[in-house]
Structure 1
């Protein structure tokens, strides 16, 4: 039985970034990771531009309070100035417009008084470069503006558009197959007969996968018969970079998944992890390189194992430099006293208060309790043995999502 850190290291040892692809600069690219450096093809801004509506002036002409200047032109945004500003002159200018030759500052219109074809400057301290965004301040031609490994967020869309990119090389989202197992399961649209329960792991894992940077595909429920399990698992392997199998991985008579995976050539690297919930975790690699996770049947166990092991693998396959999970130390907003035979990951909720961020344990009845898990955005890590933690004491916390 491996410790959590050792099991995660084993998973990450077999996770490699996927082959890159080119995607259009469209909403579907959001969240992808860039696979190459992106350089500027022009200076930005490509000319010195005004940051305010007002008047383009020579700062030296505005040294005396109440200086009056002759207005010789008007420059809207998008119009190239046709004349320069000489001594005692000014140009009416608008935000984003190019600064004319000779001008070195902009006076806001609130600090000026229009007098027909003249303007009186009421700003008593006009400085060179005032309200002027110099050419190339944001980026210079040839400079790298986005590094390989950068996740594409909305601001990156703007940067890419600014350097003329309509398509970029990225790491694809991993294809993730999801299979549930068990004769007791029925799908959500069916009312369970006595002895049956609805399948919660399938929908939850597809949602976790989508949130975690993968492209999920649900293959259905494999029944507790070797032929059914083998057929569905083989179908999932053939169409996936990562296969998630919920249930059937423990040591019961109907836990057929390990035997079926062995028949399909899967090499096992993790068989159990010293943790709670989630001990019966299975991880292996298929002959074609797919990552295979056999997850516990209890839904909270499945959720915790996904966050601790599957999500980090998806991040590496998708090109992220940091796998996670993200762990920080936070004060608890409520005291804890528990005794656990293994390190335990307890659902919790982050709270923002006057003293900063803290974490509050949620009411939770154990591995089957999805209702208790639902509000969680964190997991408090409780060590094995007797744990007593007073309110305000710091604990390790895994951040979710």
Structure 2
């Protein structure tokens, strides 16, 4: 049986990064930059005022000194005068500063007994106060967006400042989510005897979208070859198809065989881990009928198994196709807050509360009774990796953790 690291290697070898495309900047939010973006100018392009006030020479700030106001400049205007000893120029926020300026004194700190002269309510001000120097934000030739960086809204604004009306990106992969099982009913229905609501579909869509990718739910496919085949054909039109259920060893675990009928080639089935051992991964190659491959994950039907496999393997695969490095959230070190006994012979990804405490991460296992216990896992914001060993883990031991939810 594969180890977790071997499963990662096979996913990386199988999935090819998507082709680059160019899109209008207005369509690039949340996408991944396909190249470095280099600034072609300094920002700001001139020394500018950060406050409404007066451009001054700090050497002129002395007791009982009055400065002559020789010009007024608003944002967008170019200074016509330079500062000389004993003079000041009124400026508005964002205005270009005249030559000779080394500080801006706030208008609140100025007395104006006469229209063309000012005096001060303060007796000192340091050079550089309320001034943003040319190139202080960014300089010509500087890499301001790195290849492989996700374009959050501040980066979109920065690209607009640089005049990049079009950008090269890795296109967003399409992801379809399909739950399987005769026992499932939609979440807005009351389950009958032996039935449960389809929580996995909602969970997986939320996890995928938390990774910055849109997911499309396909509903429920019954444990019937024809129904599975029909739903899978729709899902295989996407870049990824995520299935939950039907991949274990039961009589009605039909997913792998139906996928094979549809031309999906198995890459691996089962990983040495808990929860999530039955996970299945394969690819439907591009061919004459299909212009691009579809990568398929068959996730276990138990909700926490499906959750853990999505966090580890699906998000890794999404990063791979978007040409992002490694896992979305690499493991981190944390101090265990209570002793814990590991049962069984498989590594366990155990739901936990991960918090900051005294400048370090701490991790507390939640009360959790297994892969079907969604209630227990819902109290967690991450997971601890416990590896099998003869002795129990002791309080204050250092362990590897992954976070599902950002730690405040």
Aligned equivalents of 1:33 and 1:369: distance in 2?
35
Picking from 66, 70, 73, the partner of 1:72 is 70
Structure 2 CA distance for aligned equivalents of residues 68 and 220 of structure 1: 77
Kept in 1, the 8 Å contact 2:242–2:296? The answer is yes
Verify the 8 A CA contact 1:346 1:380 in the aligned structure 2: yes
Once the two structures are superposed, what CA deviation does each residue of 1:312-355 show, in whole Å capped at 9, x if it has no partner? 10112123233344201101222212322211011011223345
1:389 aligns with 2:387: no
Deviation at 1:6, TM superposition (A): 0.8
Aligned partners of 1:339 and 1:386 also within 8 Å: no
Question: CA shift at 1:369, angstroms?
Answer: 0.8
Report if the CA contact (8 A) 2:28-2:156 is conserved. no
Q: Residues 342-353 of structure 1: matches in 2 within 5 Å?
A: 342-353=346-357
What SS does the aligned partner of 1:384 have?
A: coil
1:313 matched to 2:317: yes
Q: Which residue of 2 aligns with 1:170?
A: 169
Between 333-342 and 177-186, the greater mean CA deviation after superposition: 333-342
Aligned to 2:240: 242
- Aligned partners of 1:72 and 1:89 also within 8 Å: yes
Q: Matched residue of 1:395: which SS?
A: strand
Cα distance in 1 for partners of 2:203, 2:127 equals: 60
Contact map agreement 1:245 1:295 (CA 8 A) in 2: yes
What's the secondary structure of 1:114's corresponding residue?
strand
Contact 1:173–1:318 (CA under 8 A) maintained in structure 2 = yes
1:265 match: secondary structure: coil
How far the C-alpha of 1:52 sits from its partner, in A, is: 3.0
Q: Distance in 2 between matches of 1:191 and 1:386?
A: 45
Give the Å deviation of 1:138: 1.9
Q: Distance in 2 between matches of 1:74 and 1:97?
A: 10
Q: For 1:55-98, what per-residue CA distance to the aligned partner results, in whole angstroms no more than 9, with x for missing partners?
A: 21234444x54433211122233332232222321112233211
Partner residue of 2:298 out of 271, 289, 294: 294
| Contact kept? 1:379, 1:397, Cα under 8 Å | yes
The match for 2:117 is: 118
Q: 1:127 to 1:184 in 2, by over 3 A?
A: closer
Q: Residue 105 of structure 2: which of 107, 117, 135 is its match?
A: 107
Runs of 4+ in 1 over 6 A off after TM superposition: none
Matches within 5 A, 1:1-400: 1-26=1-26, 29-62=28-61, 65-109=63-107, 112-116=110-114, 117-120=116-119, 128-237=127-236, 239-288=237-286, 289-354=293-358, 356-400=360-404
* Separation of aligned partners in 2, 1:151 and 1:386: 43
Normalising by structure 2, report the TM-score. 0.90
The alpha-carbon distance between structure 1 residues 191 and 132, as it changes in their structure 2 partners (threshold 3 A), is closer
Please state whether the residue corresponding to 2:395 is helix, strand or coil: coil
Question: Which region of structure 1 is more displaced relative to structure 2, 141-150 or 330-339?
Answer: 141-150
Q: Which runs of 5+ in 1 are unaligned?
A: none
TM-score (norm 1): 0.91
**What's the Cα RMSD here?**
2.2
Instruction: Write out per-residue CA displacement over residues 357-390 of structure 1, whole angstroms, 9 at most, x where no aligned residue.
Output: 3111111111111111113211111112445222
Q: Which runs of no fewer than 5 residues in structure 2 stay unpaired? A: 287-292
* CA–CA distance in structure 2, aligned partners of residues 258 and 15 of structure 1: 19
Separation (CA, whole Å) in 1 of partners of 2:261 and 2:347: 33
* Mapped partners of 2:127, 2:135: distance in 1: 17
Deviations 1:110-137 (A, max 9, x none): 5544342322356555555443222222
- Structure 1 residue 290, shift from structure 2 partner: 1.4
Deviates more, 1:217-226 or 1:102-111: 102-111
Which string of whole-angstrom CA distances, capped at 9 and with x for unpartnered residues, describes residues 217-271 of structure 1? 122222222222122112211x210111111111222111111122222221211
Q: Deviations over 1:35-65 (max 9, x none)?
A: 1222334431122112233321234444x54
> How far is 1:177 from its partner?
1.2
